[in-house]
Structure 1
Amino acid sequence: MPDSISLNKYVAETGICSRREADRWIEAGRLAINGTIAVKGNRVEEGDRVTLDGQPIGRRPPPVYLAFHKPAGVTSTTDPKDPDNLIDFINYPERIFPVGRLDKASTGLLLLTNDGDIVNEVLRVENNHEKEYIVTVDQPVTDRFVRKMAGGLPILGTRTNPCEVERIGPRAFRIVLTQGLNRQIRRMCELLGYRVLTLKRIRIMHIELGDLPVGQYREMGSFLDPA
């Protein structure tokens, strides 16, 4: 079918998500072609009607870039089956999705967009984009703790990269990561016998949370534009 296109590429080119996210939507049965639930490997031809959760998708909308202050208790997912999903919480008039994640218990800066092309550029590990966090723990932050956290620790079958760590209070520290391992900071702390009480992301690349109120968002230009 020379005039067809793979479903995941078609969805990504509408700008609502990445190909990887489109694959997850296919596996979850959220995408349909001409009223038939899609499966992996489906292709889209000219004139086909593609829907997500019953709503048609197609022409790329104007790009949307949001900086959002995620509260604790909101899940970084677009899945409507999750009652705490962030899409229902934000209630933005356009379809958007998160770039990366924050644990449900964590707070702070989360980026959202409808531009699927920008996701890999922001998340690609080799780009070494910085993410900065303020963390409080259940014990005093010692020199040994700071040294161990900064030097790298073995978690999830690998070793974390050396990173910047600074004590900013008796039981609080600031940490700057260029990795995005699952629950990385919490796992690192647990390995050293500490329990995270609060975790707040305050910066991604050049984008700062600033004084954005909890639960609110601000619209901005492309995430890759320092201006």
Structure 2
Amino acid sequence: MTDPVRLSKCVIELTGCSRREAELYIEGGWVTVDGEVVEQPQFKVEGQTVALLPGATPDPQEPVTLLLNQPAGLSFEAAQRVLNPESRWPEDRAAVRLLRSHFARLTTTLPLQPGASGLLVMTQDWRALRKLNEDANKLEQEYVVEVSGTMLDKGLDRLKRGIKVKGQDLPPVKASWQNETHLRFALKNPKPGLIAAYCSAVGLKVVGMKRIRIGGVPMGKVPVGQWRYLVQAERF
């Protein structure tokens, strides 16, 4: 019987690398134990076979940004539980090696309107987070809103000019019909409940809403409950 050995020590013995390089190999998803990838340097090995995958490099992992098509009504904590390797959109073409560490240390900003589904940004990247926070009042958010009822006469014009509700002025907003039951709204950093207030002001009731874009980044065809990576060419 041999005592369990840390995986990082096994990698050092296998490659002759430094401790830090061993940790980077492991955290990068390049190390297997009996054929299964293990990403924890402290994992205990008891006689199993440790190997490196082809092309392994001890490079630091870049922080990632995930774009989740969030189901309506979930808290941030519940939305995090939706994220896993199995819920990645099968058509995601991002050239990113999926690692379980991509689901750790995620932060979000620009929350959805109450009751809405759609694009939620979850990121490890401080640069993306700073961009979203600092430019929140500049970045246009686009929602598709399902409504019921009959719009007041010239309701779209009223929305585009700005409208007063119970003594409160609602600013002008870009609004257009997508079809008979769905409106598109494009607005910057909307306060919670603002879209519902716009709809109510012109005689409509919100049935459901979905955020489909933040700045230059669209949700795309990702189904509800699935996610994709933000690719390098995309800019908020």
Which band: TM-score by shorter chain?
0.5 to 0.7
Aligned equivalents of 1:105 and 1:174: distance in 2? 16
Q: Which structure 2 residues correspond to residues 1-80 of structure 1 after superposition, within 5 A?
A: 62-75=62-75, 77-78=76-77
Secondary structure of the residue aligned to 2:224 is coil
Shift, 1:221, TM fit: 3.6
Counterpart of 1:196, as a letter, is V
Q: Kindly tell me the number of residue pairs found equivalent between the two proteins.
A: 160
Shift, 1:156, TM fit: 10
Q: Give the equivalent residue in structure 1 for 2:226.
A: 216
Matched, 1:151 2:144: no
Contact 2:64 2:123 in 1 (8 A): yes
Alignment deviations for residues 138-162 of structure 1 (CA, whole Å, 9 cap, x no partner): 1134552212222223469864432
Shift, 1:70, TM fit: 0.8
Secondary structure of the residue aligned to 1:165 is strand
- Distance 1:144-1:71 versus aligned 2 partners, 3 A rule: same
Alignment deviations for residues 126-181 of structure 1 (CA, whole Å, 9 cap, x no partner): 75211111111111345522122222234698644322111122232111101321
Aligned equivalents of 2:198 and 2:189: distance in 1? 13
Shift, 1:111, TM fit: 0.9
Q: Give the equivalent residue in structure 2 for 1:118.
A: 128
Contact 1:207 1:223 in 2 (8 A): no
Q: Give the equivalent residue in structure 2 for 1:225.
A: 235
Q: Is the deviation greater in 122-131 or in 170-179?
A: 122-131
Aligned equivalents of 1:167 and 1:210: distance in 2? 20
Q: Give the equivalent residue in structure 1 for 2:92.
A: none
Query: Unmatched 5+ residue regions in structure 2?
Result: 1-59, 85-101
Aligned equivalents of 2:224 and 2:155: distance in 1? 30
Secondary structure of the residue aligned to 2:221 is coil
Aligned equivalents of 2:228 and 2:188: distance in 1? 24
Matched, 1:190 2:207: no
Contact 1:189 1:195 in 2 (8 A): yes
Secondary structure of the residue aligned to 1:137 is strand
Shift, 1:206, TM fit: 0.8
Aligned equivalents of 1:109 and 1:137: distance in 2? 20
RMSD: 2.9
Please point out which of 210, 216, 219 is paired with 1:206: 216
- Distance 1:156-1:69 versus aligned 2 partners, 3 A rule: farther
Contact 2:146 2:209 in 1 (8 A): yes
Counting aligned pairs with the same residue, the percent is 26
Secondary structure of the residue aligned to 2:63 is coil
Aligned equivalents of 1:110 and 1:156: distance in 2? 31
Shift, 1:195, TM fit: 1.4
- Distance 1:187-1:145 versus aligned 2 partners, 3 A rule: same
Please point out which of 118, 138, 146 is paired with 1:136: 146
Shift, 1:98, TM fit: 1.7
Counterpart of 1:198, as a letter, is G
Q: Is the deviation greater in 147-156 or in 175-184?
A: 147-156
Aligned equivalents of 2:154 and 2:141: distance in 1? 23
Aligned equivalents of 1:119 and 1:180: distance in 2? 18
Counterpart of 2:63, as a letter, is P
TM-score by length of 2: 0.58
- Distance 1:210-1:143 versus aligned 2 partners, 3 A rule: farther
